[in-house]
Structure 1
Amino acid sequence: MSVSIFISSLIALPIVLFAGNLINLFSRKYIFSFASVLIIIGSLLLSYSDIIAYTLGNILRMAGAGLTMICVSLYTMDFIPRKELAQVESRKILFAAMSWVLFPGIGTWLWVNTFNMAPFLLSSFIMTLLLFIFWWLRIKEAELVKEPNKNHLNFLSNLKIYFYNPHMRVAYLIAVTRSASWVFFFTYGPIYFIEAGIAIEWVGFVMGSIISIFVFSSYFAKIGESFGIRRTIYYSFLISGISLGIIGLLPKPALIGIIFLVIASLGMDMLDIIGNLPFMRMVNPKQRTEMTTVYSTWREFSFAITPGFASLFLFFMKVQSLFIVMGLFLISAGLLSKKMPGRVD
């Protein structure tokens, strides 16, 4: 499975990098619609046990998710004032959290107690509903946003421009690391729960209850604003990294490990709520489309490196030892995040 996800991410990554060209040709609303269709088809393909269908489904799902998030990020930066970004991001995370809290459990329960295709049909139906709502809202392009310079839509050129800026590099590191932590959580967390004695059909509900702290995202955003975005990001990385490291050092999966996983999720929740703010506050408004295209690849990149490196490490160590590796990764990212400029606060 790890190898399949790794391959899927590598193929989906270039599609997301070409998002700037696609948006320039067809506009955001059509790209959002196209991406939604990719997710719908991808979800249905994931229901098949065939490894080729599973890999193709993941490619479509990852590409669709990347394109939709680029469109959502651009709409957010176009219509939301800079000072309101923290509260808007926390609200966005709150609505996203509702699905993350409920549907891992619902999907697992449906898989065990009904038929295997049920959770994927539900996912496709919800995505179809979202697409109808999007067109019903009739969201338009911001009038003040100029069409991107076609010379700036070359993704290789955009990569060079983006990563030449040290502040953009830090913003990308934060995004990739927080996403990798969730990829790790949803991939290897269930394995840990099962080895700790939790029944398979309840694993999804346990995971949902752990991340239910997202319902307090608005308060988390206020804490981040008052404490300082930079310091909050730094300490969130440390809390999550140290907690995951402790889990890896335990002799075997146990209840105490699940408690530390809950503590780790607190830091990961905070990073999800405010983790996009460094990019949004540091990006040049004249280069939003081009730079957002590069920045939004954090999802595909994290989906590639996390299972890729994990599959290599699993040749030499047990699953529980991966928690130590992930913990060190988060702590290192926290130390590097201190290079952010003061205007992020």
Structure 2
Amino acid sequence: MLPPRPSGVIALAADTDTGGALARLTALEGLSRAVLVGIIPLIAFEALGSKEAVAQTYLIAAMITLFITLNFSRLEKILQRRWVLSLGGVLLIASSILIYKGNDWGFALGVGLRSAAASIFTVCISLYVMDYIKKLEFARTESRRMLYNGVAWLLGPLVGIWLWNHGWPFSAFLVSILAAVIMLAYFWHLRLGTNPVLVAAKPRKPIHPLTLLPHFFRQKFLRISYLITLGRAIFWVLLYIYGPIYAIEAGLPNWVGAALLSVGCAMLFFSPWVRALAERFHTKNILIVGLSLCGGSMLMLGVLGDAQKLGLLFWWTGAWGASMVDVLGNIPFMRTVKPYERTEMTMVFSTWREMSELVTPLVIAIILLILPFYAVYYVFGGLLLLIALYARALPNRV
């Protein structure tokens, strides 16, 4: 039986435990990015003039991000984790300035730093979760984080595009910067205040990232976990970059694209229900359903062909499936990684963000050399369905 509606309110009200603190940090970081998510693709499309050029720009940005993420272990050795997370906040601030003021290369660098900041934050928070949350509480903690994050991603795109359309373009970037500053202040309040939620991580000897990749992907369950998160991230990359462009090409105003992003992210409000379903039917099965829904929606966009108003419905159903994977997608990794390898394996696992931002524009650029754009939906829809099939190999205990 599904939990009663107030469960989400109860989760929001829990403000004295570690999970609640991590959820608030996640929401503040998410707001800093969400407020610009509907604006950045429009800036790129207007400045660069084509979806092919947009894909190439995001490809350059992804290379920057991947380099930073794969060297996380070295960063943590030099700075320690609290300073690495703080660096992520600083990169968020710098990226907002670069995207607003930069030329082509400045824009690409800004997008790259923005993604790198998100990746750094994801690695740090994942490590804190695994360090201070019991395994049996992973699902509850992750659903709460997604619930808080859903608030940020519901409001952020709409606020950003409203400010952009009403003659205050820099105000959206200012909100992004302010959210990053508040996130940093709250993190250091947790570190330095009376609430000992976050404590310093033990320094570790850095390991070259290339030596970790074979070890990671030789482990079957880690490999499946990575593909699950990579698949859902590819969908979000497609939605965040091409969703707003799709709305414009379908003859709709630009605020519809922002609303599409907000409505898609609003599915995260159902995270307590997703967690309840996972407890009843196993996390693995809910992940398979989410990936299948996401992949099927992509295939339907391919069937529609060129941008149409009906296509927004399939973007939305795809977002529903991706949100289900968002809530539970990290759990297979967290429950199967060896405790003594957490930092190193998390560094590799967290490259799903960079790989999605690298693979997606690269594949799109190749497809567009010989095929129309709607072929992209067939390719990625088929990929998501294949990942759903592969996820069946996970044990039911995950």
Report the TM-score when normalising by structure 1: 0.93
**Alpha-carbon spacing, 1:99–1:140, altered in 2? closer, same or farther (3 Å):** closer
CA contact (8 A) 1:105 1:206 kept: no
Give the match for residue 298 of structure 1.
352
Count of aligned residue pairs for this structure pair = 340
Percent pairwise identity: 33
Deviation at residue 147 of structure 1 after TM alignment: 4.4
Task: Quote the offset at 1:251 in angstroms.
Answer: 4.9
Do structure 1's residue 9 and structure 2's residue 67 form an aligned pair?
no
Which range moved further: 174-183 or 186-195? 186-195
Cα RMSD of the aligned pairs, angstroms, is 1.7
2:199 is matched with 141
Counterpart position of 2:81: 28
1:257-296 to structure 2, matched below 5 A, reads: 257-296=311-350
Distance 1:338 1:86 in 2: 19
Q: What is the one-letter code of the residue matched to 2:198?
A: K
- Which amino acid letter does the alignment assign opposite residue 364 of structure 2? A
Structure 1 partner of 2:281: 227
Of the structure 1 ranges 57-66 and 29-38, higher mean CA displacement relative to structure 2 is found in: 57-66
In 1: Cα distance, 2:356 partner to 2:170 partner: 27
Q: 2:43 corresponds to which residue?
A: none
| Structure 1 gaps, min length 5 | none
Partner of residue 167, structure 1: 221
TM-superposed deviation, 1:97:
1.3
What SS does structure 1 have at the residue aligned with 2:199? coil
Kindly provide the amino acid, as one letter, of the partner of residue 238 in structure 1.
S
- Alignment equivalent of 2:180, drawn from 88, 105, 127: 127
Decide which of 204, 210, 227 is 1:156's aligned counterpart.
210
- Give, in angstroms, the shift of residue 257 of structure 1: 2.2
> Partner residue of 1:66?
119
Conserved 8 A contact 1:102-1:205 = no
Query: 2:243–2:257: 8 Å Cα contact kept in structure 1?
Result: no
Are 2:389 and 1:330 equivalent residues in the alignment?
Answer: no
Q: Which runs of 5 or more structure 2 residues have no equivalent in the other structure?
A: 1-53, 192-196
Query: In the aligned structure 1, how far is the partner of 2:156 from the partner of 2:130?
Result: 29
Between stretches 190-199 and 64-73, larger displacement belongs to 190-199
Could you give the per-residue CA deviations for residues 21-77 of structure 1, whole angstroms, max 9, x where no partner exists?
A: 221332211111111101110111111251111011122112221111111110111
- What is the rounded CA distance, in whole Å, between the counterparts of 1:48 and 1:304 in structure 2? 24
Does the 8 Å CA contact 1:105/1:203 hold for their aligned counterparts? no
- Whichever residue aligns with residue 349 of structure 2, its letter is Y
1:54 to 107, 113, 120: 107
Q: Give the 3 Å change call, closer, same or farther, for CA 146–341 of structure 1 in structure 2.
A: farther
Bigger drift between 254-263 and 100-109 goes to: 254-263
Distance 1:252 1:17, change over 3 A: closer
Write the deviation string for residues 79-127 of structure 1: whole angstroms up to 9, x where unpaired: 1110010011011011111121111122122222223322222111110
CA contact (8 A) 1:245 1:324 kept: yes
Q: 49-58 or 113-122, which moves further after superposition?
A: 113-122
**2:151 maps to which of 88, 94, 98:** 98
